[in-house]
Structure 1
Amino acid sequence: MSRSNAVLTPESQTITSLDCDTDTRLKAITQLGIVEASAEQAFDDLTQLAAQICDAPVALVSVVEKDRQWFKAKVGFTPSETPIDQSVCAHALGSREMLVIPDLMSDPRTMSNPIVTGEPHIRFYAGAPLVTEDGIAIGSLCVIDYKPRPAGLTQKQVSALSKLADQVMAQFALRRALADREDLVAGLSRAHGRAAEERRRLTSMFQAAPSFMALLRGPEHVFDMTNAAYQRMVGGRDVLGRSVREALPDAAEQGFADLLDKVYRTGEVYQVEAALFASQASPEGPVDERYLDFVYQPLEENGEVTGIFVEGYDVTDRVWQIRRQEALSELGERLRDSNEVAGIATIAAEILAGLLGATRAGFGSVDLQNETVFMHPNWCAPGAEPVEGTYRFRDYGSFIDDLVAGRPVLIEDIAVDERTRDSENALAELGIRVLCNLPILEDGKLVMVVFVHHDTARQLSNDDLAFIRQVGDRAQAAIARIQAEKLQKVLNQELSHRLKNTLAMVQAIAGQTLRSVTEKDAVEAFNSRIHALSTAHQILLQENWSAAPIRNVVSGVVKTLNQSDRFALDGPDVVLGARAALSMTLVLHELATNAIKYGALSVEAGSVSIEWCIDHAEEDTFALTWTEQGGPAATEPDGRGGFGSRLIKMGLLGTGSTSINYGTEGLQAEMRAPLSQMQQI
């Protein structure tokens, strides 16, 4: 049953000394089949783990009955049970939350408890109740210390102790389920002697079952029954009436017969997931690697093990699907950081070789005019020779035609495929029986080949072929990204050059047009704003005109003033979208211009602090604060103010969320805007 990680302390709640519904609790204990028995490793391990996590000398799995509590598992504690009036765990039954008593001598419920006042003098207690699926507390998993702990447990220890208590209950439930399963299997064994008609009916169901099943008899594990799924799993071999070691020598060599011996000897169930079984139906035949989930269930008659029931599923497809997904995920991560075509080819080769169990893998540079390939140093399995140097494609078949067309080459047996069968000997000399080539194109032209070789024939499944094509597609997409980035860089440089010329022309035209204007300050302000835009443009260009780090934006404005030593910048790393970067540049430029003319930067001792942060109180909000110090008192402009004042009041992105304080120490302005809008490209 799920629980919270909340903790009950003496100050938080008063708890009765014992859960009032004792009969319900005793019934739950009986239903779970919990009995005092010899130590069980699973419970001992959980108790030991609780003691280690909580750094406690004592840990107990306590089951509370009517007049006593007894311990299913214990660490550092001698008694196997205590009377109910000495039980601290009983106090934990009144709530589904953890009970922590930092000092048992100070708590009125426990200060007179004999095991507190006398031996063994326990002083600290923390117990997570053991709660059934029906919400009934039957005991607790607790840790105890011989000295008080005013701070109790850390939150991580509380969480871990609660989860371990859940695992204790899971173990109880598992043992109940296994007991039920054993009853079911025993019933199946007794049904074996029923009437022939009943046996035929059961046999029909047995054969049609989707899981593979077999019934083994005696200490030699002689096959008594197998279903169709089991026969498929072992390659159609005749096994009935024969022992496992005789009928399946490959399984015996891999240790499966030894496991059967152990189950027969101990009577303990053996269960495993995704176990590798290399099935070889004949000594000369191919090896078929399968992955199996299965259980060996001992069968008993009159308390004696007489056989073993085998049941499981072939999960090979699932295992390989997971591996392919993991390989593609790894491929994506590695390709994301690669900026070279050769590096992408190497990564693709390594991923393919690792999943397909190749003999050799690597890449080669193609000279399309001469139809040759230069094989770079490549990865080889133990015992395989590398293939390096220059080779002519046509000496090894006609598959270059597919590569030139951009099609992957997947040849499962070079002796059979029409593209390579006439070149079988040449390929065999290189240790190639299975050939996989992925073309790498640049501007539609074949420039590189990723290759994977096997030295023995094998059949590539449809999933294998799909995986190979996916690797090729992703490698090609990564190369296309590199090419696009190179092109974008060229375009950005050209755009930068043209925009700089345009801004310079605007300034020149403005200079000529406004030459007769008597308000030189306005002309100067116009030119400086153009210069600020040029600075922001340069910063965005470095980031492909999509976004820019805020520190770069702020530093860019400060550097144009030639007074960087009078500014203090502080804030987290935040990436701004292009629109926000331009808006912030103009606003900071106006604030800096005003500070130079009228504010802190107009006097030698003045300085400016620019700080920014992310406010998580509600929706994530970006906040920037401009603070002037050491200058003259700030005064609010008359009327609406000029363009610069209006621009500042409009704030970031023109949202108008600006707070301005005209203080005696200088101007202070705070501007806020939703973070999502600030980062929007």
Structure 2
Amino acid sequence: MYRSDTFLWPEGTPPSDAYCDEDERLAILAAYGTASMVDDPELQEIAELAARICNTPMAMVTMVEEGRQQFLARTGLEARETPRSTSFCAHAMLGAEPLVVADAREDARFTDNPLVTGEPHIRFYAGYPLVSAEGAPFGALCVIDTVPRAEGLTALQRNTLAVLAKSVMRRLSQHRLGATAKQAVHLRESYLKRMIDSVPGIAWSTDAAGKFDYINPQWTELTGLPAPRTLADWRAAVHPEDWENAAGAFQHSLTSGAPFEYEWRLKLADGAFRWMLSRAVKSEVGNGESRWFGTVIEIDRQRRLSEARDLLANELSHRIKNIFAVVSGLVSIRARRRPEAAKFADELNQAIRALGAAHNYVRPDHGHREGTLTGLLSDLLAPYGSAEETRFTIAGPGIAISPRAATPLALIFHELATNSAKYGALSCPEGQVTVLVEETGADGGDISVVWEESARSCDIPAPGAHEGFGSRLLRMAVEGQLGGTFERSYSDDGLHVRIGFPRKSIDS
């Protein structure tokens, strides 16, 4: 908020010498934009009140310009301006106190003034200087009578005119501030519009009902179509296969207020289609009103690269699954020729099938879309046990894991299980593996997995042995992908591994 006293020049102080220079004075006067305040209702009320209080037929709010005196408000006078050379207010505005002329015919400054010798036959004049906050003299609030007044103004009239003169300057200053604020807003809007128009994507806005009132030039440049005004106008530019779902999703957002996000294909001016990502959010703009602001950004290259990577990954996954199937088939064929090995072949096929199930976790989009950490551990360790022989124990709550987290988790525990089968507890008949899953931290915000290998009669590798690519893979998956910690220690009794990570890294 602006304080009212910042609008006013100190009362009883003459104008600033710096702003009495005519060029400087006129520059400040122009900055106030007084030309647009002619017949301002508030100033008109002030002039009329001044005339009634002083019991004069005429009162004016005057601005002294380079060659004329303009009346922003007036009563009792038809003219809207007079020449500056005849202006009483040009004298009044330069003083520290109001100018009071009891009888203009007897004042040497005004005896020959055309406004005294002719219409409107000024005799009595009282003018309070109007000075800007900078100290520039503008004009005066004056009252005029056609008969002389030897007594001048009463104390009440002087005080009232002083208050009204301050009100005039407050009104002029508020007008200036308002104009300055509007100009600043217009300038910022202009900058913002130029910025939005320069971005490579499409930007748009709608009212709360979804009526489009702005869309930047990129729309027409890309599509060759006029700017849309309704949602239906977009149909010509959206791939037919995408239109119903995309339009429905946007309509749902309009109804629910939820953010809008959708991928669809945009038809370009040359007839080609490009994948786009469209986003929009609802924003409150004041007075209980809301608007939608959105963007449309091309993601065609990223989309096609992603599709190509998925195609390659799918093909690799399919080939790996085929390898499991081929190996299992070869084992079955060879076992038919050797009945004595049938039991062993059946156990081996079960292990191969379990490995295939574990592979589904590495490619979560093509296997387990939902699951738990203990379930994943059971699938991964299944190849290393049998119905008659339990080599491992898994305990802990069924903590859900997301498809995104399944990949690093499967890599981590598959690597531990493989190492155990090669060098640790699962490499000897007496070895046992115990896995404990725990919720730790405040409100279970962290997860801890303890992997214990008990292998008293097995050869336990010395610390640092067999720590090559697999160990680096473990640490990269735990620390890099899950944001967790990995600790491993060996003892005479076996191996102890503790893995900790934030819960949010596996459930989102």
Give the structure, 1 or 2, with the largest relative contact order (CA under 8 Å, sep 6 or more). 2
Which is higher, the Rg of structure 1 or of structure 2? 2
Q: TM-score range by the shorter chain?
A: 0.3 to 0.5
Q: TM-score, normalised by structure 1?
A: 0.31
